[in-house]
Structure 1
Amino acid sequence: MAAAASSLVSYGSGSDSENESEFGNVTSPQKVDPDAAAHLQPLKPGTITALAVLNSAPEVAVKEDVETGVHLDPALKEVTYNPTYETMFAPEVTDVVFFSYYPPIDSKDEQKELDEILAKRQKRGKNEEEAPAEEKTVLHVKEAYDYQGRSYLHVPQDVGINLRSADVPEKCYLPKKQLHVWTGHTKGVSAIRLFPVSAHLLLSCSMDCKIKLWEVYNDRRCVRTFIGHSKAVRDVCFNNSGTRFLSAAYDRYLKLWDSETGQCIARFTNRKVPYCVKFNPDEDKQQLFVAGMSDKKIVQWDIRSGEVVQEYDRHLGAVNTITFVDENRRFVSTSDDKSLRVWEWDIPVDFKYIAEPSMHSMPAVTLSPNGKWLACQSMDNQILIFGAQNRFRLNKKKIFKGHMVAGYACQVDFSPDMSYVVSGDADGKLNIWDWKTTKLYHRIKAHDKVCISALWHPHETSKVITCGWDGQIKLWD
C-alpha cells in the first residue's frame, strides 16, 4: 500500500519535469491532500474509519417497491399454489362507474315506452314462430246438398259432355273469345287447379290469403271460400278423389282441408316457407305428400302422424316445383339453383342431376297428358321440353319462344290431344303454340297484369282457363 501511495505522490512528475531540471528550473515536490488517498491507506486495527464518498450513484428503486402484487417469500420451503401471471400482476380495481344511455325517467308512461323499445330490440333477429291463423269457411250457395243429398262435389251430368270418361277429345281447337270472368279475389291469383278427373270445379288460391272453389259449368258460382292463412297462399293441390286438398302459404304453414265441409283437418310446418306442395298420386300413398321449401329441402309428411318422414336435401336453392313421373315411382324437382333433379320415391339421394351452364331456373313444370314430356318454363323466355322417361334429356328440337316471362313462374299446359302448348306471360297475354312445329299460333290479351297460369280443360276441345295478378279468373273458348 505504501508503494502505491508513493507512486501516486510521484504521479505528475514525468519526463517534462526531468527536462526542466536539466535547464536548472527545479521545482519542489507537490503536496498531496491526505483525504485524496485516504481510501488507499490500510485500515488500522480496532478503529472505524469513515471513508469519503467519491462518486454518489443515484438511488435505485427496489423491484418490490415498483411492482405491487403477490410476491412469494423465497425463504418458504413449500409453495401452496402456483399463481399465474394474471394473479400476481392483476391491476387494482377501483370503484366502477356505469354510464346509462338513457336519461333519467320521470313518469310511468316513459318507463313503459322504454320497456317496449327494449322488448322489440330483444325480439329483433329472432324468428318467432307465428301462431296459425284461425280457420273458417264461408258457403256461398243456399243449400250445401240437393234434394238427393248430393253436394257440389257430385259430377254434373247435364252439361252436354261426359265428364266421367277417361277418353280425351279427338281434335282440339284454338280458343278465340272470352266466355266468363270469375271475380271475388281482392288481390292477385297465384294458382288454379281443376278438380281431378271431371274438372267440374276449379280451386284458386290468392295473395289475399283466401282459397276459393268455383263451378266451371252451369251458373259458374263461387261455391265456398276457405279462410285460414295469415299471409299470401302460394300453392294448392287436390288429392286423387278431390275430397281433400292441401294449401301452402307464406305464413310457413301447410294446411289440409275438406273440400266439402270446408273444415281444416290438419296443419303442418317446419318453420320454413313452402313454395309448392304435391300429394303422392298413388292410391295406396294418399296419406303422404311432399313440399318444396325455401330452405332448399323437399320435405315428406305423413298426414296420419303429422310427422316429417323423409327429407330430400340436395338442392342448393329454394325448391320451386315437384312433378311426379314414371307412373309415380319418381319425381322431378326444379330449384333456384338452376338445376333439375330426379328422385326415386322415398330415397333421399337424387339419381339424376341436370345442370348446364346455359340453363336458367325453371319455376314452373308440367307433365304432358301422355306422360312422355316435361314442359319447363325457363327464365330466359323459353319453354324447354325434357323427356320424362328414363333419360330425362333436353329435346333441342322443341323450344317454344316469343313470350316474355322473365321473373314470373307462369304455369304451362298442354291441350288434351297434345296438339297445342299454352302459357301466360308477364304482359297478361295468353300464348298458344303448335306442339309439332313450335310455331306461335295465337296470342290473346287475357289480363291487365301478369297472366300467371293457364289450364286447358281435359274434356273440352277449346276451353282454357287463365288467372292473373289482377285478381280475375277467366274462361276462354
Structure 2
Amino acid sequence: MAGYGKGAGRVPTGFAAETFISESSFREGHRALEPGANGKKRKRENKGDLSVVSGAGAYKGPWARYEEERPDAASDEEFGSDEEVEIVYEEDELEDNPTAPTKKLAGTDYADTEAASETSEFVGSQQYDYQGRTYMHVPNDLDIKLTGERDDIKNFHPKKLIHTYKYHTKSITQVRFFPGSGHLLLSASADSKIALWDTYHQRELLRTFSGHTKSVNDIDFNPSGTQFVSASYDRYMKLWDTETGKCLNKFTSGKTPHVVRINPSSPHEFLAGMADKKILQYDTRSGEMVQEYDHHLGPVNTITFCDEDRRFVTTSDDKSLRAWEYGIPVPIKFIAEPYMFSMVRSSPHPSGKYIAFQSSDNQITVYSSTDKFRQNRKKSYRGHNVAGYAPDVAISPDGQLISSGDSGGYVCFWDWKTCKMYHKIQASDAPVLAVQWHPRETSKVITGDLNGVLKYWD
C-alpha cells in the first residue's frame, strides 16, 4: 500500500497531502476569502421553520442567504463621514411600486405563441353556381366520373406539366386531395397558411385559411372531406370547416405536433404525433384528449392506420416502429433493428396489406400491416436522395406505382412489384417535399417544393 507522504492527513474522502505555504501568503488569501466588510463575518438569514414549505418563514436550511449589508455596517472610510448615502433595496422599491417591470426576452427565449384569431377568405371567381351550390359539390360536367366506385383504372406515371399553382411564399409541407373525388386540393405551407384549390375547370385558388402563427406541419381530411385538421409549430392543432373556412375547435398540449391523422372509421377522433415523444388522441366533439400513447423515445414522425382502422403504426426519431391497438396505450409490436434509420413519412398500400416508409438512408422500405408487422426485405426502393429532408411517399390508387420526392428537385416513380425505377421528372430546382396521386385519374400527380410552388402533372 502506497504511503501518504510526510505530514499527510486522513480526511473522509481519502487523504490530504501537505503543502508548503508562507505565513503571509496564507493570511492574505484567508482575508480575501472572508465574507463581510472590515473582515467581519457576515451573518446568515434565519434558517426558517422546517414545517413551512413556502412564503414568509419558510425553511431555508443551509441554503439561507447572507443578510444584506446595511449602511451602518460599512465603515466611515468607505463612504466618507460627511456625505449621506442612500441605499435603495429591491424589496423597498417593489413595495412602493407594486407593478413589476415587464420581463424582456433574452435572445434565446421564445415568446409564448398564443393562438391567433382564425380567418378564412374566399378568393375564387364565384362562390355559388347557378343552382346555389358551393365548391363542395362534385362536378358532373367532366369526362371522368368522380363519384361512385372507382373501377379498375390502371395508373401510369405522368410525363408532362399541365398546371402550376402559386400562392404560398414558403415551403409546401403537405398536400391532400379531397377524399373520393379529388376535385379539390388542400395545401399546407411553412408560411403558416393553408390553401384550397380547384383541381378542374379554372384550377384557381378558392379559399385561404389563416390562423396559425408558425409553419403548418400537416393536414388531414375527414373521410367525407367536410372538415380537416391542421397541425403547426405554434403548438396548436385546429379543426376547420372546408366549406365555410370556420375554425371549429382548437387543441394544444403545449408541445409541437408533427403529424395528425383523423381516424377514418370514427371521424370525430384524431391522433397527433408530438415532439415530446407522445401520441395523443383527441375527441373533436368535446375538445378533450381521450388517450395518450407514450412509449416512443423520440419525436413521432408518422401515424398510419391499418387493419380497417382498428390498429395504427407509428415511427419516430428513435429509429423504431411500433404498432398499437386503437385506444389501448400499450404497443402490440415493437421493431428496432441496428440497421434501421428513422422513417419520416409513410403511405398505406391500397390493398391494406403493406405500409411504405420513407427511410432517412435514401430508400423506401415496406412493412406488412397485418398481424406480423414484419419488414418485407424484398421491397426496397432506391435511387432517390432524401438528404436531411422529409419528402413524402405516395402509392398510386391501383397500388402498382410508388412515388417519392427528392432533395435534388426530382419526383421519382418505381414499379411496386419489381422495385425498378421507371423514371424521374425534374419537377423543381428546389427539393420536392410533397407528392400525392389523384384518387380518380390515371396518371395525375401533384408535387410541392421548398419554394412553395405546386405543380400538377399528367
Bin for the TM-score computed over the shorter chain: 0.7 to 0.9
Question: Quick check: 1:169–1:460 contact (8 Å CA) kept in 2?
Answer: no
Decide which of 236, 239, 248 is 2:219's aligned counterpart: 236
Question: Quick check: 1:129–1:271 contact (8 Å CA) kept in 2?
Answer: no
Letter in structure 2 aligned against 1:210: K
Equivalence map 1:204-283=2 (5 Å):
204-282=187-265
- SS state at 2:343 partner: coil
1:209-244: per-residue Cα shift (whole Å, max 9, x none)?
100000111110110000101111110111111111
Letter in structure 2 aligned against 1:188: S
- SS state at 2:185 partner: strand
CA gap of 1:124–1:180, structure 2 versus 1, over 3 A, is closer
Question: Quick check: 2:438–2:444 contact (8 Å CA) kept in 1?
Answer: yes
Shift of 1:143: 2.9
Shift of 1:128: 5.9
Shift of 1:149: 1.8
Decide which of 385, 388, 393 is 1:404's aligned counterpart: 385
Distance in 1 between residues matched to 2:434 and 2:111, nearest whole Å: 33
- SS state at 2:219 partner: strand
1:393 counterpart = 2:377: no
Distance in 1 between residues matched to 2:279 and 2:400, nearest whole Å: 33
Shift of 1:169: 4.1
Shift of 1:436: 1.3
Q: Residue in 1 aligned with 2:426? A: 445
Decide which of 308, 313, 324 is 2:289's aligned counterpart: 308
Distance in 1 between residues matched to 2:303 and 2:279, nearest whole Å: 9
Shift of 1:171: 2.0
CA gap of 1:175–1:355, structure 2 versus 1, over 3 A, is same
CA gap of 1:398–1:150, structure 2 versus 1, over 3 A, is same
1:102-155: per-residue Cα shift (whole Å, max 9, x none)?
x99xxxxxxxxxx86x8226x788766432111111111243221212110111
Q: Residue in 2 aligned with 1:69? A: none
Q: Residue in 1 aligned with 2:394? A: 413
Q: Residue in 2 aligned with 1:348? A: 329
1:459 counterpart = 2:440: yes
Distance in 2 between residues matched to 1:395 and 1:259, nearest whole Å: 38
Q: What's the TM-score once normalised by structure 1's chain length?
A: 0.74
CA gap of 1:226–1:453, structure 2 versus 1, over 3 A, is same
Distance in 1 between residues matched to 2:387 and 2:372, nearest whole Å: 28
- SS state at 1:470 partner: coil
Shift of 1:305: 1.6
Decide which of 144, 150, 153 is 1:161's aligned counterpart: 144
Letter in structure 2 aligned against 1:337: D
- SS state at 1:120 partner: coil
Q: Residue in 2 aligned with 1:55? A: none
Q: Residue in 1 aligned with 2:183? A: 200
Distance in 2 between residues matched to 1:436 and 1:473, nearest whole Å: 29
1:289 counterpart = 2:270: yes
Shift of 1:280: 1.1
Q: Residue in 1 aligned with 2:407? A: 426
Shift of 1:208: 0.9
Higher deviation after alignment, 400-409 or 124-133: 124-133
Q: Residue in 1 aligned with 2:124? A: 141
CA gap of 1:306–1:139, structure 2 versus 1, over 3 A, is same
Shift of 1:277: 0.6
Name structure 2 gaps, 5 residues minimum.
1-61, 79-86, 89-99
1:119 counterpart = 2:103: yes
CA gap of 1:317–1:210, structure 2 versus 1, over 3 A, is same
Name structure 1 gaps, 5 residues minimum.
1-85, 105-114
1:264-290: per-residue Cα shift (whole Å, max 9, x none)?
1111111100001111111xx221111
Shift of 1:437: 1.0
Distance in 2 between residues matched to 1:433 and 1:125, nearest whole Å: 45
Distance in 2 between residues matched to 1:96 and 1:197, nearest whole Å: 83
Decide which of 118, 132, 135 is 2:115's aligned counterpart: 132
Q: Residue in 2 aligned with 1:23? A: none
Distance in 1 between residues matched to 2:243 and 2:449, nearest whole Å: 26
Question: Quick check: 1:169–1:461 contact (8 Å CA) kept in 2?
Answer: no
Distance in 1 between residues matched to 2:297 and 2:244, nearest whole Å: 40
Distance in 2 between residues matched to 1:251 and 1:345, nearest whole Å: 27
1:469 counterpart = 2:453: no
Letter in structure 1 aligned against 2:357: C
Aligned length: 371
CA RMSD of aligned residues (A): 2.4
Question: Quick check: 1:168–1:458 contact (8 Å CA) kept in 2?
Answer: no
Question: Quick check: 2:278–2:293 contact (8 Å CA) kept in 1?
Answer: yes
Distance in 2 between residues matched to 1:239 and 1:311, nearest whole Å: 21
Higher deviation after alignment, 362-371 or 301-310: 301-310
Distance in 2 between residues matched to 1:166 and 1:336, nearest whole Å: 38
Shift of 1:168: 4.3
1:305-330: per-residue Cα shift (whole Å, max 9, x none)?
21111100000000111110000000
CA gap of 1:312–1:124, structure 2 versus 1, over 3 A, is farther
Q: Residue in 2 aligned with 1:363? A: 344
- SS state at 2:103 partner: helix
Shift of 1:178: 0.5
Question: Quick check: 2:113–2:213 contact (8 Å CA) kept in 1?
Answer: no
Distance in 1 between residues matched to 2:109 and 2:327, nearest whole Å: 33
- SS state at 2:187 partner: strand
Task: Give me the identity figure in percent.
Answer: 51
CA gap of 1:316–1:288, structure 2 versus 1, over 3 A, is same
Letter in structure 2 aligned against 1:425: D
Question: Quick check: 1:252–1:273 contact (8 Å CA) kept in 2?
Answer: yes
1:28-81: per-residue Cα shift (whole Å, max 9, x none)?
xxxxxxxxxxxxxxxxxxxxxxxxxxxxxxxxxxxxxxxxxxxxxxxxxxxxxx
Letter in structure 2 aligned against 1:358: Y
Question: Quick check: 1:457–1:465 contact (8 Å CA) kept in 2?
Answer: yes
Q: What's the TM-score once normalised by structure 2's chain length?
A: 0.77
- SS state at 1:466 partner: strand
Letter in structure 2 aligned against 1:219: Q
